[in-house]
Structure 1
Amino acid sequence: MHDKIPLSESRINIDLNTSFSSIDTGMVEKFEKSLEEYYGHQKSILALNSGTSAIHLALILCGVEEGDEVLCQSLTYVATINPIIYQKGSPVFIDSEKDTWNMCPIQLELAIQDRILKGKKPKAIILVHLYGMPAKIDEIVCIARKYNIMLIEDAAEALGAEYKGKKCGSFGDFAILSFNNNKIVTTLGGGALICNTKAEKEKAFFYATQAKEKESHYEHKEIGYNYRMNAAGALIGLSQLKKLKEYLQKRRAINDFYKDYFKEFSGVCFLKETSLNVTSNHWLSCFYFDNRVVDADKYELMEFFKKNRIEVRFLWKPMHLQPVFNDFPYYGDKIAESLFLNGLCLPSGSNLIKNDLKRISESIKKFL
């Protein structure tokens, strides 16, 4: 029997002889400095225990409170949305556009105008770079500034992606990264909040470490959280960051392989860069079937892959279609829904070898 081919995996090699104090924060601070160096020392970055924690802190720093509305794209992972609920806010879901599959700027502005007419000007926008593909950043940043709305950039899936030569995570009032187990760089669970100023980072640190006041005793005037990254995760992250360039090259080569292989199959449409301004990290290589051209069932294909021990995944189910979010407004058509109904993510891990890609391609050929 063949070994299972995972969807997205990174091989971790660490020096188990490395020792450090369980209460020393030096390793975490070193990881933060490495991230700040990666962003050209233009940002202040706080290492946390998850990307979800980072979004939550960003919302707090944006002043999102009970009853406030936050605009966010519908086609995303639920972790983008849950922190809005933590703050007792209300998500307002926006459809995707066809080029990048990310938030549609046209629907975004229509939503803002309609919410303002209803007396509910949104407090923040959460922009996602889905599967590592940069969104239409210029348009969305322009809209956020036009209406004076804070912009949070969810770059959880987009470390290493760039827009006009500038790294994703550089464009918002705040941005976040994820170092979850399946990301290009992992800390075996972790994330980061990207701030524009040191003061913002210090305020985020205050909330991430239980909101302890600067007193000799334990004094608390606000609710805080246990969101800090641990030293072991930071140690892994330092090792992983050194290999980011290598990992990016491998993910992009895998994506090139898939696009080239699928050329012979009509009706198979890949998520790809549509402009020279955009450089995806291709965290996951994704496609959808154009059902006007090809009669294929993604559920049958997924089951076929499963029997061949190849892990594939459905595209995210849009948040406005999730039962838990039924009562929140949605602006758009059915682009996100159509992508979900017809799309799949293929194995894209940095550890894939030629034999893995051969197995995957042969399986696809048998099915189609």
Structure 2
Amino acid sequence: MTEPRIYLSPPDVTDVERKLLLEAFDSNWVAPVGPDLDAFEARCAELVGVRHAVALSSGTAALHLALIAAGVRRGDTVLVPSFTFAATANAVMYLGARPVFLDSTPESWNVDPQILADELRGRAVRGQLPRAVITVDMYGQCADYRPILEACDRYGVPLIEDAAEALGATYRDRPAGSFGLAGVLSFNGNKIVTTGGGGVLVTDDGSVASQVRHLSTQAREPVAHYEHRTVGYNYRLSNLLAAVGRGQLQRLPSMIEARRVTFEHYRAALGDLPGVSFLPVAGYGVPNWWLTCLLVGSPATRDRILAGLAREDIEARPTWKPMHLQPAYRDCVMRGGAVSADLFHRGLCLPSGSALTGHDRDRVVAAVRSVAAEQEG
């Protein structure tokens, strides 16, 4: 019998989510308002440790509105890590602003705080400070926020935390998403918690939350007729999807633990292979273990492993291709670049879903070791 396909990070849903979804459906709260939406937002704010949360149609929508709240306008500059998914940079471009890309640190694969501080210092001297800084918590591990916040505060530049991959992670015992002007969470289908799509903006700033909530509902004014004093967006999350999210959040601790077990299993089973190293776990926090990522000896080896996994019907992917190597962003400024380029050329992500079985993990390990054995032979 053919073995079933193993996916990289599929949704992990149970009767908990089904029950809440059907209850919301039966109540007829199917529009982008309702008690499940309110409860989902309240729980997200509680988990992140902030006062406000606004549930939106995607993490990208949350980034877009966070940048508006930070005052980003056409012609502005925003500092952005190069090693990230395209949505981080795309949201900057939506506003006619320009990203300046920064390299990563090999110690955590997140943005290098020293490069960020140097860039802010140089721009301050030239009178060209960016309108905002975006950080990204890569693969479920927080960036190093102490020096980052010090640099942003020194020059009065607002920080937006793209914590799309990091719900449940911590930095010095403080939850991911709680840093800066606003944090962004994603509930896309491949994230540790999913609503089938969606995102949340989290913030301690009530005025930011109010502005984002207003803009996300087409910026309609609170009058009887349809009055619009500014351009808005159709960005709210539906009550039905929020019901699914409420069930997922109930199970977040167990899903984090399942992914941690998978990371430890892969590290123990593959860590002895020549040239193999895993995403370092920074001493300043605890990740949510969203994806298990590793580096191998060369780009050719990485590609052989991906091909070997594909032959066994196992989904795996390269790590993010940095933005400064993307054709769409070829004209943007890049500071550094060697680290993030190497992370892409030698990096891959292994199946890490929270419903992954021991047998699934063994299949992945066997496929990787088989490629390694071919090379040795």
TM-score by length of 2: 0.93
Match of 2:206 among 179, 182, 198: 198
RMSD, aligned CA: 1.4
Q: How far 1:120 moved relative to its partner? A: 2.0
Instruction: Report SS of the residue matched to 2:271.
Output: helix
Aligned counterparts of 2:34 and 2:86: Cα–Cα separation in 1: 31
Q: Which has the higher helix share?
A: 2
Q: How far 1:236 moved relative to its partner? A: 0.3
Pairing 1:299–2:308 present: no
Q: How far 1:2 moved relative to its partner? A: 1.3
Q: Indicate the residue corresponding to 2:251 in structure 1.
A: 243
Aligned counterparts of 2:206 and 2:125: Cα–Cα separation in 1: 36
Q: Indicate the residue corresponding to 1:284 in structure 2.
A: 291
Match of 2:47 among 18, 38, 44: 38
Match of 2:164 among 128, 146, 156: 156
Q: Indicate the residue corresponding to 2:353 in structure 1.
A: 349
Aligned residue type for 2:35 = G
Aligned residue type for 1:246 = S
Instruction: Report SS of the residue matched to 2:280.
Output: coil
Could you report, residue by residue, the CA deviation over 1:180-232 in whole angstroms, capped at 9, with x for unpaired residues? 00011100000000111223211110000000112221111100000000011
Runs (5+) with no aligned partner, structure 1? none
**CA contact 1:289–1:296 (8 Å) conserved in 2:** no
Could you report, residue by residue, the CA deviation over 1:161-194 in whole angstroms, capped at 9, with x for unpaired residues? 1111111111111100000000111000000001
Q: Indicate the residue corresponding to 2:180 in structure 1.
A: 172
Aligned counterparts of 1:164 and 1:267: Cα–Cα separation in 2: 31
Q: How far 1:119 moved relative to its partner? A: 3.6
**CA contact 1:286–1:346 (8 Å) conserved in 2:** yes
Aligned counterparts of 2:282 and 2:270: Cα–Cα separation in 1: 17
Aligned residue type for 2:320 = W
Aligned counterparts of 2:158 and 2:282: Cα–Cα separation in 1: 27
Instruction: Report SS of the residue matched to 1:81.
Output: helix
Could you report, residue by residue, the CA deviation over 1:209-268 in whole angstroms, capped at 9, with x for unpaired residues? 000112221111100000000011101000100000000000001001111112321310
Q: Indicate the residue corresponding to 2:10 in structure 1.
A: 9
**CA contact 1:56–1:84 (8 Å) conserved in 2:** yes
Q: Indicate the residue corresponding to 1:230 in structure 2.
A: 238
Q: How far 1:296 moved relative to its partner? A: 5.3
Pairing 1:85–2:89 present: no
Aligned counterparts of 2:70 and 2:267: Cα–Cα separation in 1: 40
TM-score by length of 1: 0.96
Q: Indicate the residue corresponding to 1:211 in structure 2.
A: 219
Question: How many equivalent residue pairs?
Answer: 363
**CA contact 1:96–1:335 (8 Å) conserved in 2:** yes
Q: How far 1:118 moved relative to its partner? A: 4.2
Q: Structure 1 residues 70-79 or 113-122, which shifts more?
A: 113-122
Could you report, residue by residue, the CA deviation over 1:291-335 in whole angstroms, capped at 9, with x for unpaired residues? 4xxx95211211111010010011100001111111111111400
Aligned counterparts of 1:180 and 1:17: Cα–Cα separation in 2: 20
**CA contact 2:84–2:323 (8 Å) conserved in 1:** yes
Aligned residue type for 1:34 = R
Q: Indicate the residue corresponding to 2:363 in structure 1.
A: 359
Aligned counterparts of 1:224 and 1:193: Cα–Cα separation in 2: 16
Aligned counterparts of 2:160 and 2:282: Cα–Cα separation in 1: 24
Aligned counterparts of 1:187 and 1:44: Cα–Cα separation in 2: 19
Sequence identity percentage: 38
Aligned counterparts of 1:65 and 1:108: Cα–Cα separation in 2: 21
Could you report, residue by residue, the CA deviation over 1:115-165 in whole angstroms, capped at 9, with x for unpaired residues? 334442101000000000111111111111111100000000000111111
**CA contact 1:36–1:43 (8 Å) conserved in 2:** yes
Q: Structure 1 residues 334-343 or 265-274, which shifts more?
A: 265-274
